[in-house]
Structure 1
Amino acid sequence: PIGSVSPTLSQQLALLLREGGMPNMMKVLKAIYPFITSCTEPETLNDATDLQPERMADPAPFDWRDESGAKVGVLLYRAHARAADTAWCDQLLTVLRSRGLAPRALWVSSLRDPVVQEGVQRALQAQDVQLVVSTTAFASVQFQEAGLGTPLWDGLDLPVLQLLCSGRSKQAWDATTQGLDPIDLSLQVVLPELDGRITTRIGAFREVQDAESSLSTAVKSLVPDAAGLNWLADHARCWVDLRQTDAAEKRVALVLANYPVRNGRLANGVGLDTPASIINILNWLSEAGVALGSESRPDASQALMAQLLSGRSNDPESSHLQPLAYLPLNHYLRWWRQLTPEARALIERRWGSPEQAVDLEEKGFAVHGLLLGHVAVLIQPSRGYDPDQISDLHSPDLPPPHRYLAQYLWLQEVHGTQLMVHVGKHGSAEWLPGKSVGLSEACGPGLALAPIPHVYPFIVNDPGEGSQAKRRGHAVILDHLTPPLGRAGLHGSLLSLEALLDEYVEARQVAAERCDLLEQQIKQLLQRLDWPSLPNASNEAPNDPSSSPDQDNESWARCLDQVETYLCELKEAQIRTGLHRLGSQPEPLMQRELLLAIARSPSGGCQGITQAMAKVIGLECDPWSDEDGARLSEHDCRTLEQLGCDQPRRVSAAVSWLDDQALRLLEQITDEPSESLCPLLQQWLQDNKEPALLRLRDELVPRLLACASSEKKAFLAALAGRRIASGPSGAPTRGRPDVLPTGRNFYSVDLRGLPTEAAWDLGRRSAEQLLDLYRLEEGEDLRHLALSVWGTATMRNGGEDIAQMFALLGVRPLWDGPTRRMVDLEVIPLSLLARPRVDVTLRMSGLFRDAFPQLVGWVNRAVQLVSSLDETDGENPLAAITREQGPQSRIFGSAPGAYGAGLQALIDSGQWDNQDELGEAFLAWSSWSYDSDVRAQANRAGLEAALRHVQVVLHNQDNREHDLLDSDDYYQFHGGMTAAVRRSGGTTVQPWFADHSRQERLRIHSLSREIDKVVRSRLLNPRWIQGMQQHGYKGAFEMGASLDYLFAYDASTNAVPDWCYGAICDQWLLEAGTQDFLNRSNPWVLRDMAERLLEAANRGLWSQPSPDQLDQIRGLVLQAEETVEKGGLSC
């Protein structure tokens, strides 16, 4: 009967319902009452009065008053007004007024509506608001359009604070470490980040007000939370104060990360020359009028480090030096007593009361750093891992110690910091234990970080860890360019090997009598190089080069083919050739090489530049997707020879020639003197019609050239209390040129869309390749695999690791048609799979757990689907174990609210005796299983049982803008899990590595092969060593860090060839020029590296050092200590 109403009445009812509110709902009830009572349409309704909705302006002002104070905009959903759910809105405005602010609140329907956007912008600009507080969900733009800008916020050019409203009760929030449920996380945090909004606190919780049974539903409303609203109001006040304070009076703190806590490893920042960036920032502050004092201000990075290290640092050996300042105990205690009982109890359980703190001195808690007028350059305090307390090293949820909190309190209350800048990825504050987002007063980041404006220069290709700083540290990201990247090329004996191979190939054709001599020379050189065994195309064991002259011609030819193939891979490897300086362009050659690294990658349906060039000159090979060591066709060999390429045999030769021509082309595009292009390419450049060329000239070059100025402008905008524009994140060299120019507040990815269909395609192909390789090498099917998955990589690649796991299990995602979002999983029948399923154990990072709760659910569903199948033990090992032992957990992580894998502090302290202890640390930090609702359960036995059967421990890398010896995370997760498998009883485990940096060319091989490649192509490469020498202290820091990571990988996996230590010793520490650089630039690192090599020898990891090497290393320790005692750095 109700379906028979007239179209006019139906439309009127829809309008009433859409407008909402009590008066309109009364009109709806009046209109439908006759249907309910007599099923007849009412005849007495007057369309002009009874059915006309009472409309509300959109936007509509709310509680505007004639009051003093800086005006701030407040955006509220008008649905709250219509539902009379406004108590929390009233309280929000009251709290803002208590801070001397004058709120200008607007009710809005949706910020997606351009008309509403225009009205909001007009109203707020007319009121000259200084800041905006938004309580609305979603973003003002669609995800696909966000990279083009956000007209509403770009027009206002103001910081926008995002106040969170929880869909759960406060009691439920208290009981979980998640902070927000997946829907609230997506709608109130992830999507608003597209607008560049600053995540703050939860200001209201949805509580049950009435549970009248006759309504069949509970009546809920939002109840204001005093703590969250007060924090938000304080943060708003601080932003307004920053905006209104004269530059000469502004006070800024620049915070430098320091881990491990050694003087040689100060100013951590991934890919960033942090000291040089600090110098740039100081210059910008001076230009802006900030007072930097009249005393000696460092004018170069080396002078900055010398001044910092002339005082006390976190390194215990500097404890006799004077700190920058002290925070008196009574000052700390005043703050301490204001903390919640829960917060105090958390800290006291480990560190005792403030009066009992081990780092409390007579004058109070020490503050480490340097004061330059109104600018403090501070060394971030240590997390407090005590090597004498072995329990600390196994504690995933260690709270910050008192001195950590005291220094941040000094920053706020003594220094009066108005802008806090953590310089470079990444510090430790955002990783302190606590809720993932929507922090409580007892969460670590909330305890440490005051509601001060917080800017965070961060490398653009790391959206995950940057998002952590945004969501847990209220940071505004200022993303910066990657380090310069270039081809590794060949060097030293590798060049000699290439020359011998070329000569040998020529001799076979014209002078066979020379072949025997050349074979002998090649054999001897391979032995000197400790050349690795390389996988064959067949299932035979690799040939030993030392026995090659005695083998038949076919075996020797196969060996040489493998050698040349690997040599090509080394030659074409992409490495960092320097570090980025915030706000500075790379040197011209480095800039062109970086441009080429970005332009080579296909993007947006457009070919990479070298692919297009190959087509122009008529090559059949694809320089992007073909293997570097693949043989060229006869046609391509002839073509390249005609163009002047010497002895082209492999794709690598074509790549080298094309890259050289591309660099010449870039010289012409950027109006720099250049060598001539080949005639075909010169004509192609002049014709100027090819999409890849137009993309390079009109998009990539301008974007990259704008990075330096954009980074500086963004910093100065934040200093002025203005907005840093939002922008996308990702790896520029993996088809993401849209992340340029840098200098933006990056956002990550819509978690509702993962895994993407592109990620499934790659993950499926990678799984198939891995299984084929295992079957080839082991002669049997892979049955049990362990995989680590990170939040950052998942944000960059759309969920490739999870898709790979699905493929190994034998399930596939299903996507919704219109949205292309994953909506379900289906089992792939064995008849289509044509191989057994693989039992996969997943170790997720804490960031992955926090950022992708829905993927945790999908993984659990996949495990449940496969474990319940009626298939034989041989076909389905997971189902076999389930039938025998009951339901199995297969997704593990660190403790709720905690992060990390547990190896770093143990390695740095040296408090371990054998690999089992490293495996034990990993198990201690990883033994929580997570269900589909991301609820954790301590499950050490379940983790050990899962790992005991593992045959391969796999880690995937999705870009080559760094490598596995650039970060401690690789050895902690990959190496740690390998050690944990062995600790759990696994005896045949192999650590493998997958290179997914090019979707069209996947590479999977052993970890030892990858380490060999990185050591030869980067660590021993003069290009990289000389590049690091251009960065003084920080360049030496990078060298020391890579050696530490190499050592830790070896300690946890035994995958580092012995020769690596000797080669690093000879080419870094004992080579006169490099040794002199280290001693002058960072003698602490020189000593650390020498001691690390001695430790490797003492532990048997470096099994064959020569006595002379060890003697010289010991001498270097003494030499470096002498340099340190004399003052440390040469400026």
Structure 2
Amino acid sequence: MDAASTCRDNGRNAFAFQATSELLDSEEKEFTRILNELQDTHLLLIDNHGSATYFKKFDRLIAKANDLHIPTFVCSSVPDEMKDFRNLFPFSTEEYEFVHSCLELSGLENTTALILWACKTIGEEDIDIPPLRYPPTEGFYHPSLPDIYDFVSHEKRLVKEKPTIGILLHQFYYIRKNLLPIDALILSLEAKGMNALPFFLVTSPNEVTGAIGIRKFIETYLIRDGKPIIDVLIINMSFSQISLSDPGDGTKNDPIYNFFIDLNVPLLQTITMYRSYEAWAQDDQGLSVMEISSGVIWPEFDGQIIAIPLGSTGEYEGRKNVGIPIPGRVERIAEMALRWSILKRTPINERKIAILLYQYTGETEALGDAGGLDTPQSVIKILQKLKDTGYGVDHIPETGNELIEGMIAGLTNDTRWISEKQMRERTADLVSPLQYQEWFSKIPTKNQEKISDDWGPAPGEVLVAGGDFCIPGQVNGNIFIGIQPPRGLFEKVESLIHSNDMVMPHQYLAYYRWIKHVFGAHVVIHMGTHGTLEWLPGKGNALSEECCPDVILEDMPHIYPYIMNDPGEGIQAKRRSWSVLLDHLVPAMMRAEGYGDLLQLDTILQDYLRAKRGGEEQKAKDLITEVRSIVLARNLTYDLGLPVDAEIEVIAENAERLYDYICEVRDVIIKDGLHIFGQPPADERFLEMIYALTRLENGKVPSLRESVAKTCDLSLQDLLENPSGFNIDHQLTNGALVDLIDSRCQQLIEKMAEVKFDRDLIIFAIQEEYGEHYKDLETCCMFICDEVVSRLNQTTDELTNMIRGLDAGYVPPGPCGDPTRGNVHLLPTGRNCYSIDPATIPTPAAWKTGKDMADQMIERYITEKGEYPQKVGIVVWATDTMRTGGDDIAYILWLMGLRPIWSSRGGTVTGLEVIPAKELARPRIDVTLRISGLFRDSYPNLVQLIDEGVEIIATLDESDEVNFLSAHLKQDMLARLKEGLSEQEARDMALVRIFGDPPGNHGCAVGEVVHASSWKDRKDLADVYTTWGAHAYGRKFRGEKVPELFKEQFAQLDVTVKNRVSREFDILDVDDDYIFLGGMNACVKAYGNKDPVSVIGEASDPKNVKTRLLDEEIRFIFRSRVLNPRWIDGLKPHGFRGVQEVMNTIEYTFGWDVTSDAVDDWEYQAAAEHFLFDEENRKWIEENNPYAMHNIAGRLLEAYERGFWETDDETIKKLQDIFLESEEYLEQMGDLHE
């Protein structure tokens, strides 16, 4: 340290050593070195930037210092944290304040004074300690102006016609003159015609240093008369500025004030990385674990727009560890600021907006698809709001179908039904090869070469007519409603079996350049969850100029409406396409309830169980005959694992199981239609949503259902655990009592709505009706009145904050996740959503849930196979990890026999602890992970944690019978040694248990191959899964391709697992589940020649987790949702978009079957009869989305033709007729035979 050297130069016997928490947390050897250094240490200083909770080994360091009786001073940005550690520093208050001042003021002079104090106080030397130096804590800085400069004078000289950009950097860099990246940014901003206002400051107010803190700073420097003096604020500071602006003292309960709302300008977060330029350039992940946390995740809590890196750390003119600007990135940040400023300064009636829908598969039937969102109707709502606000909108369609029909009448990405001539006539515009070449020549050479390698010379073949690029979409005044261009995976699907690094085609680039340069859009809106831009190849974080999203989007302002319960994929859009991520509400949810024969069966079974209990044998016999008839007719024997033609005796023996199952099907919640952006659920859906949001506890607020149950002296938990049990007092089955409780819940909500959720009237009514049992119910009802209703009504904020974003204002941040999982606090929507701190994963709550699900899986395997599973494969996603706090991570650790070690403060996971074999009471299980690319990029700390855990368990001295992982390690090492690897190489390879997407890329590609029917047998699907997934990750692996190791590991799996978080989406709602888990099953079947036990864990209610076999889960979804009239009735008002949900469900069902053999013949038959042979449903599909009719019939025929479905000739004839009729109709619509 420079200060210690200065002291020695002046004759003092002073030595010091230092290390960063990031280094100590990541390198155990370095931490051990520091612990050894403590043996000769007289004073330990721990200076936390933020809280001690983010130094994982803090507790271990403190414990060692205590053992050695070393005086320790802990400095923290959290005052109450400092109070807790005051006792570690055994000196007077005056001396404590002196040391605190030295650390807070920092700088060479003050650090030198601190060491001299130690020499005097601890070393007992006779020394005079110099006075402390108080550097400026905040102020204006400009490289062309004197150090201390009057900002007020400078402000008066600003050119008002120029955009003005504020820049914030930490005072630390100003004091140390570590300003090269900021200087470069200032010059770039000014060169592009902007006023640059750079400031240095300290975020937290501090009495010691005199710092006023960021809140007061913004009020003082950046706001005049209630309005900002800047257009955009670039923040080059780590962590959350809001959180650090008002550190707690242990007494505050109110939320921290968000002063950025007052400023109301876009916040561009950029980072000067701790790593070198070379390390960043070569790393597909982009940032280190610490950089992701401090420079990305925490700033997202402020609502900052995550931009790109400004600088790296290196050596400059003999100075080490200084910031070095990154050429090209500095300019891009300046360009982003300029574009947001132009948006802000352009009059509303002149602003141009591009709204892009998706058509992922490239087919017309998929136009406008998005998770849980009625995109056509949402676009209409947005157009209405834009017109009301003053934007130039020429025409607003009456319905979503009208909007879609208008787009189809023009040009979409689907050119199957039209000629090249018609393409040119229908396109919104054409881009000539000459114009494209001008744009193409300006992208990095590496990208030019890669696009040309993958797609040939421009223009290529994708959406090209007569040599020109076509631009699908429609110009509506100053609004362009377009379609995101084809990613190219379906256009070259045959290559996906062997290739995993294909970039976007020429037309993709041409389309976005046309939006920017020809249409002249000021901002782009990607409509719903999700598009392809953010998934293009490139770094996971901190993108370079060669990363494809950067190449495509450049500096465009970007607003992205995204469903609230998909935070992981949404965060991808924030970090890889600098979007303002506006979360939107999930579709309204409702109880599935009974229908048709299932409803009748429920009633008959209740009568049967009552008759059996009452000894009415003849009546019971008659009733069980009726039961058998319905069971066989509806193929319910499959659900219970009974013989297909089970006799009456078998049905009678399983009557209680059957009733329990029917009750479970009835009790699950399913979607009621789709969400419309900015529109709260209306009428009955509003009441349904209140019910769905209060089914579970919300923090300390009791569950509505449990509260109503208590008024009847009933335990809801007991009823749910044993539906076929009989309650003597009520003379009803427990299942019937649950129905009764739900009926009362719904009646209560309806009564509350009738009095417009008036608190006083509701309290009076509850007390009058329920007497002494009302307390929990009153709490819940008041919660509904005070929180649930108002938060749901604030769904209009989705539109309000979109307009705020389009004004280049500040969109406030908010959390996201699954609201029906007891998370009303996640509402209202319309916030710029953020995720969770990865250092806290798994949380204690997730630890319990994950353990419970893992135990259920083991029990189920033992039931099926009579022994413990030795090897388990599990799919792990970033989205689920964010939503649950790490259920899957807990699941994995528990299987291996490890538990997390949480810090004493803040819940940070600091390490792993081996659970003794005796306590575990079962073998340690070998777990192999297939992680998503997003998990790799978002949670490198968890990749390292699990990899560390694998090594810990594999090297325990335990028998093979107790430790399956250790046993397999020995076998795998021998295999690797026989291949000629060294002992260390063999060991490293044998320890690999984490596999994922190719470095810099995302996906499995199984879905594209299945959709395009471009596969011959299941091995093709397994090969695709291997091509895209056989990349090793861990502390020693960064995505190396290891296909043979991958095949070997997956061939041996006994169990495959994918856990689900909630019922807001199920495994037939989205394709990712079958792609990841189904692909894994295909590998086991193809390479291992065996059928794994494939399970789905469900934690929609963390207190009542469930585990089903894959085929059981699919049957359960068919019973509760797919064949439920309530589901399709909810979709019908959504027209074209509603039909897509049916189409997707059929395709994903087929996907599960071709990968996993998980679908019964009766399910295909029931789908055909319910959707296509039912006249009313077929007519709805045909009238609203005839393209989907063709798709659904074709997919069912494919299932038959490939041998996955056996059915009668009449069924196939009907399907063939429907398919051919729809094809003829579509050809006529396309007018191919003109």
Range class of TM-score, shorter chain: over 0.9
Could you tell me which residue of structure 1 aligns to residue 53 of structure 2? none
Answer yes or no: is the 8 Å Cα contact 2:472–2:482 preserved in 1. Answer: yes
- In structure 2, the CA distance between the partners of 1:6 and 1:815, relative to structure 1 (3 Å rule), is closer
Q: 2:295 matched to which residue of 1? A: 188
Matching residue within 393, 396, 401 for 1:302: 401
Q: Hey, what's the Cα distance between the residues in 1 that align with 2:243 and 2:744?
A: 39
Aligned equivalents of 2:112, 2:1205: Cα separation in 1: 83
| 2:219 aligned partner | 121
Alpha-carbon shift at residue 11 of structure 1 (Å) = 5.6
Q: CA deviation at 1:455?
A: 0.5
Q: Is the 8 A contact 1:598 1:735 kept in 2?
A: yes
Aligned to 1:1023: 1126
Instruction: Quote the residue 1:791 is aligned against.
Output: 878
Name which of 544, 547, 550 aligns with 1:443: 547
Residue identity opposite 1:301 in structure 2 = G
Contact in 2 for aligned 1:957/1:994 (Cα 8 Å): yes
Counterparts in 2 of 1:861 and 1:289: CA distance versus 1, 3 Å = same
1:610-621 alignment runs, 5 A limit: 610-621=705-716
Offset at 1:285? 1.1
Q: Please say if 1:700 is aligned against 2:788.
A: yes
C-alpha contact (below 8 Å) 1:386/1:392 kept by paired residues:
no
- Partner SS state of residue 1056, structure 2: strand
Rounded Cα–Cα distance in structure 1 between residues aligned with 2:774 and 2:462: 71
Question: What is the distance in 2 between the residues matched to 1:926 and 1:736?
Answer: 34
Other-structure match for 2:77:
none
1:289-327 deviations in Å (ceiling 9; x for gaps): 11123xx54232111000100122111314523221112
Measured after TM superposition, the shift of residue 111 of structure 1 is 5.1
Instruction: Report the number of matched residues.
Output: 1093
SS in 2 for 1:192: helix
Structure-1 residue corresponding to 2:931: 844
Amino acid at match of 1:903: V
Which residue among 654, 657, 664 is the counterpart of 1:559? 654
Post-superposition shift, 1:854?
0.3
Superposition TM-score, scaled by structure 2 size: 0.85
Alpha-carbon separation, structure 1, partners of 2:599 and 2:777: 39
Paired residues for 1:66-105 under 5 Å? 66-68=157-159, 69-105=162-198
Relative distance call for 1:394 and 1:380 in structure 2 (3 A) is farther
> Matches of 2:615 and 2:728 in 1, distance apart?
19
Counting only pairs closer than 5 Å after superposition, residues 586-601 of structure 1 correspond to structure 2 as 586-601=681-696
Q: Percent identity?
A: 28
Unaligned runs of 5+ in 1: 212-217, 536-541, 642-646
Give the whole-Å Cα distance in 1 for the aligned partners of 2:747 and 2:461.
63
The residue aligned with 2:88 is none
C-alpha distance in 2 between matches for 1:762 and 1:655: 26
Matching residue within 1027, 1030, 1051 for 1:927: 1030
Contact 1:610 1:662 in 2 (8 A): no
Partners of 1:857 and 1:655 in 2: CA distance: 47
- What's 1:215 paired with? none
User: Paired residue for 1:513?
Assistant: 618
Q: Which residue of 1 aligns with 2:135?
A: 55
Q: 1:918 aligns with which of 1013, 1016, 1021?
A: 1021
Per mean C-alpha deviation after superposition, the further-off stretch among 317-326 and 1000-1009 is 317-326
Cα displacement (A) at 1:524: 1.7
Give the letter for the 1:108 counterpart.
L
State the Cα distance separating 1:16 from its structure 2 match: 4.7
C-alpha deviations, 1:954-994, integer Å up to 9, x for none? 11001111111110101001111100111221413121111
1:580 equivalent in alignment to 2:694: no
- Establish whether residue 1011 from structure 1 lines up as the match of residue 1114 from structure 2: yes
Q: Is the 8 A contact 1:455 1:475 kept in 2?
A: yes
Change in CA separation of 1:510 and 1:666 when aligned onto 2, cut-off 3 Å = farther
- For residue 586 of structure 1, give the secondary structure of its aligned residue in structure 2: coil
AA aligned to 2:1177 is T
Q: Is the 8 A contact 1:387 1:393 kept in 2?
A: no
How far did 1:27 drift? 7.0
Q: How does 1:200-219 map to 2 (within 5 A)?
A: 200-209=307-316, 219=320
Asked whether the 8 Å contact 1:669–1:697 carries over to 2, the reply is no
Distance 1:370 1:184 in 2: 42
* 2:315 maps to 1:222: no
The answer as to whether partners of 2:723 and 2:734 remain within 8 angstroms in 1 is no
Q: Secondary structure at the match of 1:371?
A: strand
What SS does structure 1 have at the residue aligned with 2:486?
A: coil
Measured after TM superposition, the shift of residue 76 of structure 1 is 0.6
The equivalences for 1:15-414 within 5 A come to 15-21=101-107, 40-43=125-128, 50-60=130-140, 62=142, 65=154, 66-68=157-159, 69-110=162-203, 115-126=213-224, 128-142=229-243, 148=255, 150-209=257-316, 219-293=320-394, 297-320=396-419, 321=422, 322-355=426-459, 359-362=463-466, 364-385=468-489, 390-414=494-518
Conserved? CA contact 1:118–1:152, under 8 Å: no
**Pair 59,76 (structure 1): closer, same or farther in 2 beyond 3 Å:** same
The DSSP-based 3-state class of the residue aligned with 1:692 is helix
Check whether the contact 1:397–1:433 (CA below 8 A) recurs between aligned residues: yes
Q: CA–CA distance in 2 between the matches of 1:648 and 1:799?
A: 33
Counterpart position of 2:75: none
Distance of aligned partners of 1:769 and 1:286 in 2 relative to their CA distance in 1, 3 Å threshold: same
For 1:683-1082, what aligned pairs fall within 5 Å after superposition? Answer: 690-707=778-795, 709-886=796-973, 887-932=990-1035, 935-1082=1038-1185
Report how far residue 556 of structure 1 moved.
4.6
Rounded to whole Å, the distance in 2 between the matches of 1:678 and 1:312 is 59
Deviation at 1:940, TM superposition (A): 1.2
| Among 609, 618, 626, the residue aligned to 2:720 | 626
Which string of whole-angstrom CA distances, capped at 9 and with x for unpartnered residues, describes residues 567-606 of structure 1? 1011111100110000112221111111111111112122
C-alpha spacing 1:73/1:727, structure 2 compared with 1 (3 Å)? same
* Rounded Cα–Cα distance in structure 2 between residues aligned with 1:909 and 1:584: 36
**Which amino acid in the other structure matches residue 405 of structure 1?**
L
CA RMSD of superposed structures (Å): 2.9
**1:305-354 Cα deviation digits (max 9, x unpaired):** 00100122111314523221112222221122122222222222212232
Q: CA separation of 1:34/1:680 partners in 2, compared to 1, >3 Å: closer, same or farther?
A: closer
Q: Structure 1 pair 388/241, CA: closer, same or farther in 2 (3 Å)?
A: closer
Counterpart secondary structure, 1:195? coil
Amino acid at match of 2:236: T
In the alignment, the residues of structure 2 paired with residue 404 and residue 360 of structure 1 have an alpha-carbon distance, to the nearest angstrom, of 11
The more displaced of 380-389 and 1009-1018 is: 380-389
**Structure 1 residue identity aligned to 2:561:** P
The 8 Å contact of residues 147 and 728 in structure 1, kept in 2 or not, is answered as no
Which residue does the alignment assign to 1:502? 606
Q: Is the 8 A contact 2:930 2:1029 kept in 1?
A: yes
Paired residues of 2:710 and 2:773 also in contact (CA < 8 A) = no
TM-score, normalized by length of structure 1? 0.92
Q: Gapped runs of 5+ residues in structure 2?
A: 1-12, 15-41, 44-90, 146-150, 207-211, 974-989
Q: Which residue, out of 634, 643, 646, partners 1:544?
A: 643
Distance 1:905 1:435 in 2: 23
**Hey, what's the Cα distance between the residues in 2 that align with 1:379 and 1:146?**
47
Deviation (angstroms), 1:1120: 2.0
8 Å contact 1:75–1:133 — kept in the other structure?
yes
* Counterparts of 2:1063 and 2:109, CA distance in 1: 61
1:819 CA drift (Å): 2.1
Q: Does structure 1 conserve the Cα–Cα contact (< 8 Å) formed by 2:137 and 2:202? A: no
Alignment-mate amino acid for residue 761 of structure 1: K
User: Are positions 1:661 and 2:747 aligned together?
Assistant: yes
Report if aligned partners of 1:545, 1:559 keep a CA contact under 8 Å in 2: no
Deviation at 1:396, TM superposition (A): 2.7
Q: Which one-letter code corresponds to 2:133 in the other structure? A: P
Alpha-carbon contact 2:663-2:735 (below 8 Å) kept? no
Deviation per CA, 1:757-803, whole angstroms, max 9, x where unpaired?
A: 11111111221222122212321112111100110000010111011
